[in-house]
Amino acid sequence: MSTAAELHFDDLTVERSLHSKYVSSPRRLSTELKDLLGPGQYKVEMRHNVYNIRTSKEFDLHEFWIQKLSRKIRMNS
Could you give all domains of the chain from N- to C-terminal order, each with its CATH number?
4-76 (3.30.56)
Average pLDDT over residues 60-77: 73
How sure is the predictor about 6, in pLDDT bands with cuts at 50, 70 and 90?
very low
Residue 55: Cβ within 10 Å count = 20
For 11-77, where are the alpha helices, taking DSSP H only?
26-37, 61-76
How many Å apart are CA 59 and CA 41, to the nearest integer?
12
pTM of the model: 0.69
How many Å apart are CA 30 and CA 69, to the nearest integer?
17
The per-residue pLDDT for range 16-50, each reduced to its tens digit, is 999 898 888 899 889 888 888 888 888 999 999 99
Sequence-ordered list of residues with C-beta below 8 angstroms from that of 32, at least 6 positions apart, any chain: 64, 68
